[in-house]
């Protein structure tokens, strides 16, 4: 295989490289959807996908949204440009179709734009091809572009913006306009892109005027965000309940983790680049910033590190490939193993994404709730399931992952966690009364680790042993409990 790769890499043309990369990216991104189609009755994958779908549907019907009607207490709607984008195209094609097609299209677009942006900086075709190849096989790429999320949209937007920024003529103005949307996705994303653009401009002095254009547009957008939401440090965050090492490696369960083999290759690339460390110092700085952001604030910042690590992995692979080995057989086998390792991480992520909920049994319970529970019922469950409850059961929840990032959302989430831990009936009823909770949706995952560790822990014990609760539904470990006594309703 390595001989084959060696032979074809040497003869590779620009056109062939692009075709191979686009086809591979298409395969990688379409596979999870195909698996869902054949094994899960085509149920759309992911959790956030359903939020965007629901909010866009609302937007299409109401022109503008101020509050989210399915969050108990009617919390204000956090403006997301993606919903407007989706709503616009939704007038021509069904939203369900767009929700599946758009992430793939964004992914393909990002691959092509990344390839052409690299062309500006890396002249060697083989290196560029390998870098983008590693990017396509990276678990973060598979996760981000295989289903609909805010990250899918703003990553494509920032890659497109940066691409325009690196072009000649008036294109950088369009780039500045696109990048100016970043404050809608989080202040730290804005900071990161700002640093990237500043570094780019400082090394390409001609574009300094466009940096001012960018600053100006950015100031306007920040002004709009502040004026409307009064939250400067709003952050669309992603957290997984994992240790620091598990968060780093996708192979250990992290959605925004890196392939171990990609890290090995990029380490080799980084070590090799150290000879010209002063040429690379700004790249090192960007990687460091992304790592700090992802370690302390939000795992999503690994999407930026992923680009840079792929670049160094490309350098690393090329240096191993060109290096003279004493045992040439081992060279071939080692390079082959590296490629197999990268493929392994990609396929493992594809498999995990396609098995990400909602499962058939979850869907059945949600549909049961839709048909059998009153419209105004407030359901408490893990925030992870909130988007599904909203979309399929059409019922209210206390928080969802987006709302839980705000101050009020965090306070409710804290109360909810206290409620989950309570075993004393009167104390639990106080919380239930405070939030007018009527139903609990309990899943096996919640019992196993998501919320509880044992089957008789906290609220689980109370549900089983108190006469104030009645089990309405039970199927394959999924339970729906009703609160029989609400003081305020008495």
Residues near other proteins (CB under 8 A) are 242-243, 245-246, 251-253, 260-261, 264, 325-327, 329-331, 333-334, 337-338, 340-341, 344, 348, 352, 448-449, 453-455
Positive or negative, the Cα torsion across 242, 245, 251, 252? negative
**Closest distance between other proteins and the C-beta of residue 251, in Å?**
6
Q: Which is nearer to other proteins, 167 or 331 (CB)?
A: 331
113 φ, ψ (degrees, to nearest 5): -65, -40
Burial of 348 (0-12, 13-18, 19+ CB in 10 A): middle
> Bridge-partner residues for 478, per DSSP?
475
**Closest distance between other proteins and the C-beta of residue 351, in Å?**
9
Q: Which is nearer to other proteins, 272 or 352 (CB)?
A: 352
Instruction: Kindly give the interhelix angle for 150-165 and 171-179, rounded to the nearest 10 degrees.
Output: 150
Q: Which is nearer to other proteins, 228 or 449 (CB)?
A: 449
Cα–Cα distance measured from residue 476 to residue 361, given in angstroms and rounded to the nearest whole number: 7
Q: Which is nearer to other proteins, 328 or 488 (CB)?
A: 328
Q: Strand pairing of 439-442 and 478-483?
A: antiparallel
The three-class DSSP label of residue 293 is: helix
Which pair of structure tokens corresponds to residue 164?
A: 């325009």
Q: CB neighbours (10 Å) of residue 324?
A: 6
**Closest distance between other proteins and the C-beta of residue 341, in Å?**
5
**Closest distance between other proteins and the C-beta of residue 302, in Å?**
17
Question: Of 14, 219, 25, nearest to 106 (Cα)?
Answer: 25
Q: Which is nearer to other proteins, 66 or 329 (CB)?
A: 329
Cα–Cα distance measured from residue 66 to residue 64, given in angstroms and rounded to the nearest whole number: 7
Say if residues 440 and 474 touch (Cβ distance below 8 Å): no
Q: CB neighbours (10 Å) of residue 306?
A: 26
- 358 upstream amide cis, omega within 30 of 0: yes
- Mention every residue, 6+ apart, whose C-beta is less than 8 A from residue 276: none
**Closest distance between other proteins and the C-beta of residue 456, in Å?**
9
Q: Which is nearer to other proteins, 165 or 261 (CB)?
A: 261
**Closest distance between other proteins and the C-beta of residue 453, in Å?**
7
Cα–Cα distance measured from residue 410 to residue 39, given in angstroms and rounded to the nearest whole number: 36
Q: Which is nearer to other proteins, 161 or 257 (CB)?
A: 257
The DSSP output letter for 389 is I
Q: Which is nearer to other proteins, 106 or 261 (CB)?
A: 261
**Closest distance between other proteins and the C-beta of residue 326, in Å?**
4
**Closest distance between other proteins and the C-beta of residue 152, in Å?**
23
Q: Which is nearer to other proteins, 111 or 335 (CB)?
A: 335
**Closest distance between other proteins and the C-beta of residue 221, in Å?**
39
Q: Which is nearer to other proteins, 344 or 431 (CB)?
A: 344
Chain CA centroid to CA 432, Å: 32
Question: Of 265, 237, 278, nearest to 78 (Cα)?
Answer: 237
**Closest distance between other proteins and the C-beta of residue 363, in Å?**
22
Cα–Cα distance measured from residue 327 to residue 316, given in angstroms and rounded to the nearest whole number: 19
């Amino acid at each position: 295989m390595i001989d084959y790769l060696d032979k074809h890499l040497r003869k590779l043309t620009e056109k062939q490289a692009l075709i191979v990369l686009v086809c591979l990216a298409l395969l990688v991104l379409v596979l999870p959807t195909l698996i869902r189609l054949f094994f899960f009755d085509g149920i759309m994958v992911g959790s956030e996908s359903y939020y965007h779908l629901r909010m866009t549907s609302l937007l299409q019907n109401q022109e503008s949204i101020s509050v989210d009607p399915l969050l108990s207490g009617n919390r204000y709607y956090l403006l997301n440009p993606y919903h407007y984008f989706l709503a616009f195209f939704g007038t021509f094609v069904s939203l369900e179709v767009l929700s599946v097609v758009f992430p793939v299209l964004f992914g393909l677009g990002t691959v092509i734009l990344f390839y052409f942006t690299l062309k500006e900086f890396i002249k060697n075709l083989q290196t560029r091809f390998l870098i983008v190849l590693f990017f396509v096989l990276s678990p973060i790429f598979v996760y981000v572009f295989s289903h609909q999320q805010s990250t899918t949209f703003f990553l494509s937007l920032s890659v497109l913006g940066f691409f325009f920024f690196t072009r000649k003529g008036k294109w950088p103005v369009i780039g500045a306009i696109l990048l100016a949307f970043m404050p809608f996705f989080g202040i730290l994303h804005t900071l990161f892109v700002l640093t990237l653009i500043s570094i780019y401009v400082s090394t390409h002095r001609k574009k300094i005027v466009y940096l001012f254009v960018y600053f100006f547009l950015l100031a306007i957008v920040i002004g709009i965000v502040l004026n409307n939401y009064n939250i400067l440090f709003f952050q669309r965050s992603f957290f997984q309940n994992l240790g620091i090492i598990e968060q780093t490696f996708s192979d250990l369960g992290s959605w925004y983790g890196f392939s171990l083999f990609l890290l090995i290759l990029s380490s080799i690339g980084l070590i090799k680049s150290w000879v010209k460390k002063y040429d690379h110092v700004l790249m090192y700085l960007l990687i460091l910033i992304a790592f700090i952001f992802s370690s302390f604030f939000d795992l999503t910042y690994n999407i930026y590190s992923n680009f840079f690590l792929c670049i160094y992995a490309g350098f690393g692979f090329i240096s191993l490939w060109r290096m003279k080995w004493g045992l040439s057989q081992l060279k071939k086998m080692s390079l082959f193993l590296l490629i197999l390792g990268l493929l392994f991480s990609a396929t493992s992520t594809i498999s995990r994404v396609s098995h990400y909920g909602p499962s058939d049994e979850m869907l059945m319970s949600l549909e049961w709730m839709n048909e059998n529970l009153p419209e105004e019922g407030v359901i408490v469950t893990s925030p992870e399931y909130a988007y599904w409850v909203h979309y399929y059961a059409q019922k209210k929840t206390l928080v969802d992952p987006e709302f839980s990032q705000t101050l009020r959302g965090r306070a409710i989430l804290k109360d909810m966690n206290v409620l989950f831990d309570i075993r004393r009936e009167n104390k639990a009823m106080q919380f239930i009364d405070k939030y007018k909770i009527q139903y609990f949706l309990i899943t096996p995952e919640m019992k196993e680790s998501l919320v509880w560790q044992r089957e008789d822990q906290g609220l689980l014990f109370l549900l089983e042993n108190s006469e104030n609760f009645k089990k309405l539904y039970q199927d394959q470990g999924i339970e729906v409990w009703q609160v029989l006594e609400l003081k305020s309703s008495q």
